[in-house]
Structures are given as C-alpha cells and as structure tokens.
C-alpha cells in the first residue's frame, strides 16, 4: 500500500494517535462478545429474530461469517456495546496501521489469521475441495471510501495462492448453479455489500447461485439478521426476554451490564419519548444508510415526528469517551468508539475510530482509525 498516496486521497482515514485500554476492559469486551455468540446459537433467539427478518435472510449455512464488528463506548463502569456490524470494514487497513506503529510481527500474524479465516469459511461449506478464486464484491467498488482495502485483500489472497478479483455485483453472471466473473468460476464471495439480504435487482444472480449452494458467500445474508439488526439489541438488553429464551443467569448478567437498554419506538409512547429524548439515541432498526441516526438532545420536533412513523429503535445514550490529539500543533478533543473485529466469537483485532460530531466519520482532521493496545 502506498502510504503517501493514501494520505493524499484519504487524509482523515488514519489518526496519528493510539489508544490503550486495560486488560480488564479488553476481557470485558471479549466476554460480552462470547456471551452474544452463545445466545445467537440458541433456537429460541433465532426463532425470534428471524421472525422479523426479510425472507432473503432465512437460508441457514455452515459458514460463520467474516469480520463481525462489535462497536463499544468506554464508559466509567465498563465497555458498552453500541452496535454490531456483520460486514465491518477496515480490519486489513488497521493491520497496516499496526505495522506502521512498529508491530510488524503482530501484523503478519493477523494477515495469516485472516487468510486462515477465509479458508475455514470455505472448509465449513466445501470440505477439502480447493479454494481457487475469491471475488471481493461491493457496489461500485472503486468509488467506495475503503476501496484501498479491497485491493489489499486482493493482494493478500493472491499472495497465498488464491486468485482474487474486486468487482461490482453487476459483473457477476449466473451459469446454472455456478457464479462467473468474466468467464471464470467464483468459489467464494467476500461480501462487502450493504444490501444485506441480496434483494436488489443487481444482486439477483449472486442471490440465485447462493441459494442454490453454488457459491460460498461470507458474510452471508442471515448473518445480518442474527447479529446486526438493531432490533436484536432489544432482546439482548431485556431481562424478561432473556429469561423467556432460557439464557443462563451468568450470561444474562454479562449482557445486561454491557448492552445499553434498547427499546422499540412506539408511536403511542411519543410524548414520553419526547420528554425523555435527552436520554436516548434514535436509530433505524434495519438497513444501512437509508435513514439517519439522531441523538435525542439534538432532535427537532419535525424529525421526531418522522421517527414516530415507525422503523426506529431507541438506545440509552452512553457518551463516547474522549482523547486529546495533537492536530497541526494544536490540541483537539476527539470522541472515540472502539471496534472489536471478531470471528466465531473470538476477538482478532481492536481498533479505535476518532471523530468529532454526532457520529463516527472519516472527515475529521486528526481523526480516523487508530490502533488499540491492551496493557
């Protein structure tokens, strides 16, 4: 990766700062992620969340799903899980960042672990058959902000003997139960799409071949329904729901301590939500990017009325922690959230995102990704 070129094209992708967390904080995040993984495996939980999932998310597969991102705010009484993403970007970029901070051995181990993870996804679905070709798929990939990471993945796979391409889903063709890219069979799709259930017309061939078991897709459509739909946080932060599902008490304690209370926005309770709006963060329950998120204390009455039309959850506000960063020889206070990249419930890598404003972004001078070290 050409660091100088990336600095010019993406000046706020990487921060010069680094973050340390205590071993206790790291263990708390890892413990919560493992607890969530145990609940997701429970039939009672799956029945509930798949009940509100789109039809395209009903297909179950043996694969686990790569690069789940668990985003935390670091509160005084411990890390609090804000949301889960099932196609979290930035992991390989953060490996490069580790290397830039002198952690070359750690970076190399993570690169090997990432390749092993994709091979494991393949093995879970195809056994000992050889994995020959991976397609890294996103809409207009060259136009995506994290496009440099797509190329890094392509190079990583190629370096380990796996042919790889970066492509738009429109470049894929169905040939019976095979998926082709420019005439070559695609074995595995590394899915960076935000059309989580593959319902868009442009994804029709990909979806048809996936549903016919003709291609391995990771992360797969059901992953978002099981982990990342924000309505799931309502169950995971509700003592009554956890008890009804038979979640062990020790697991319940971990979940309730680490996940802010999350509730559905019921139009019938509009007055109560408006009166207490400063305590809530309002988020669209499902999907990505189509509707905004709002901090209650920044909310106008007009926008609140739109929220009451439906499709929103409210999460108790946990303010992000802050870090002072030197930017152009001046001290700037940045908000931060901390992302744990995980596979099969195990944390692989931690990274921070530093920003100013209401939500994380890559537009803040001095902000962006920063490495996280446990001490």
Check residue 186 and report its DSSP letter. P
Measured distance CA(359)–CA(57) in Å, rounded: 28
Q: How far apart are the first and last CA of the chain?
A: 29
pLDDT for the residue 216:
99
**290, two tokens:** 């189509």
Contact between 121 and 60 under an 8 Å Cβ cutoff? The reply is no
Note the pLDDT tens digit of each residue in 325-336. Answer: 888 888 999 999
Characterise 356 by phi-psi region: left (phi > 0), alpha (psi -120 to 50), beta (else). Answer: beta
Note the pLDDT tens digit of each residue in 201-219. Answer: 999 999 999 999 999 999 9
Measured distance CA(365)–CA(326) in Å, rounded: 10
Sheet with strand 163-167: strands edge to edge? 163-167, 133-137, 188-191, 216-218
pLDDT category at 347 given cuts 50, 70, 90 is very high
Q: Calculate Rg over the CA atoms of the chain.
A: 21
> Residue 3 above 90 pLDDT?
no
| 118-132 CB burial, b ≥16 within 10 A, e <16 | bebbbbebbeeeebe
Neighbour-count burial of 189, counting CB atoms closer than 10 A to its CB (0-12 exposed, 13-18 middle, 19+ buried): buried
Ordered domains of the chain (ranges, CATH): 10-110+224-256+321-375 (no CATH), 130-218 (3.40.50.1760), 261-317 (3.30.1490)
Note the pLDDT tens digit of each residue in 161-195. Answer: 999 999 999 999 999 999 999 999 999 999 999 99
pLDDT for the residue 56:
86
pLDDT category at 102 given cuts 50, 70, 90 is very high
68 Cβ neighbours under 8 A, 6+ residues apart: 84, 85, 86, 88, 219, 223, 227, 341, 342, 343
Average pLDDT of the segment spanning 302-324: 92
Measured distance CA(33)–CA(70) in Å, rounded: 8
> Residue 290 above 90 pLDDT?
no
Find residue 369's DSSP bridge partners: 14, 353
| 281-300 CB burial, b ≥16 within 10 A, e <16 | bbbbbbbeeebeebebeebe
Question: Is the bond preceding 208 in cis, omega lying within 30 degrees of 0?
Answer: no
49 Cβ neighbours under 8 A, 6+ residues apart: 225, 226, 229, 231, 232, 235
> Residue 107 above 80 pLDDT?
yes
Note the pLDDT tens digit of each residue in 15-55. Answer: 989 999 999 999 999 999 999 999 999 999 999 999 999 98
């Amino acid at each position: 990766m050409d660091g100088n070129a990336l600095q010019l094209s993406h000046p706020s992708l990487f921060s010069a700062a680094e973050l340390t967390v205590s071993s206790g904080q790291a263990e708390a995040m890892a413990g919560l992620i493992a607890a969530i993984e145990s609940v997701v495996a429970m039939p009672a939980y799956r029945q509930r969340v798949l009940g509100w999932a789109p039809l395209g998310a009903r297909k179950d597969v043996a694969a686990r799903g790569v690069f789940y991102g668990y985003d935390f705010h670091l509160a005084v009484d411990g890390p609090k899980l804000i949301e889960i993403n099932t196609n979290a970007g930035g992991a390989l970029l953060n490996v490069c960042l580790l290397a830039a901070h002198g952690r070359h051995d750690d970076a190399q181990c993570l690169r090997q672990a990432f390749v092993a993870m994709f091979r494991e996804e393949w093995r879970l679905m195809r056994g000992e058959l050889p994995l020959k070709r991976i397609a890294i798929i996103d809409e207009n990939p060259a136009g995506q902000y994290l496009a440099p990471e797509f190329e890094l993945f392509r190079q990583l796979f190629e370096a380990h003997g796996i042919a790889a391409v970066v492509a738009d889903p429109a470049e894929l063709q169905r040939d019976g139960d095979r998926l082709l890219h420019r005439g070559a069979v695609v074995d595995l799709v590394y899915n960076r799409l935000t059309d989580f259930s593959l319902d868009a017309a442009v994804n029709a061939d990909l979806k048809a071949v996936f549903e016919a078991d003709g291609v391995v897709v990771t992360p797969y459509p059901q992953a978002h329904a099981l982990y990342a739909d924000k309505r799931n946080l309502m169950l995971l932060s509700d003592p009554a729901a956890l008890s009804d599902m038979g979640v062990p008490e020790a697991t319940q304690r971990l979940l309730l301590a680490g996940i802010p209370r999350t509730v559905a926005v019921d139009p019938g309770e509009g007055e109560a939500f408006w009166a207490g709006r400063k305590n809530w963060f309002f988020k669209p329950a499902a999907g990505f990017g189509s509707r905004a998120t709002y901090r209650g204390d920044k909310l106008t009455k007009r926008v609140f009325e739109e929220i009451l039309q439906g499709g929103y959850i409210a999460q108790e506000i946990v303010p992000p922690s802050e870090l002072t960063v030197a930017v152009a020889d001046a001290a700037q206070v940045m908000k931060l959230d901390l992302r744990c990249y995980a596979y099969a419930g195990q944390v692989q890598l931690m990274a921070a995102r530093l920003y100013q404003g209401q939500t994380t972004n890559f537009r803040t001078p001095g902000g962006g990704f920063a490495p996280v070290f446990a001490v």
